[in-house]
Amino acid sequence: MIRKASINDVRSMHGILTHYAAKGLLLGRSLSDLYAQLRDFIIVEDDVTHELVGTCSLRICWEDIAEIRSLAVREDYHGKYLGRKMVETCIREARDLGLKKLFVLTYVPPFFEKLGFSPVDKSVLPHKVWGDCIKCVKFPDCDEEALILEL
């Protein structure tokens, strides 16, 4: 089941994101960041155990563009299309909000290309995005790829 994240989900979200951040696969998020940005997040929980098994964020950057961030699914739930379902949920929400574009910075471009995203030069992204990049251990040598989806 996919739903909006709640306060009770934050520690589990943090655990999943920290796991992938330690592997260098995404930018880690502090607990304080997760609490502050909680309204941006959706989660997926197991229908039987009700455990949180994935998370994703839709962050509005400007009047016409948002970013999909912090997409992560527990490894034991890979292959169940949960990441895809969360991204599709974010795309629907972005359309409902009247946004024109979505972008993502990722190490897994083929995943997003299957969902209609196209590669784009990072220089076309809003400057606001780079505020998070300064916190990254890989800054300024970012090796993530930027992709964009026209809505």
- Residue 70, domain CATH: 3.40.630.30
Mean pLDDT of 24-40: 93
Cα distances (angstroms) measured from residue 15 to each of 30, 31, 63, 128: 10, 10, 32, 26
Query: What average pLDDT does the segment 18-33 reach?
Result: 92
The phi and psi torsions of 117 (rounded to 5 degrees) equal -75, 150
Tokens of 70: 């912090």
Q: What is the pLDDT of residue 141?
A: 61
How many distinct structural domains can be found in the chain? 1
At 125 the pLDDT is 80
Closest CA to 93 of 145, 46, 41: 41
- Can you give the residue range of the structural domain that contains 53? 2-150
Q: What is the pLDDT confidence band of residue 134, given thresholds at 50, 70 and 90?
A: low
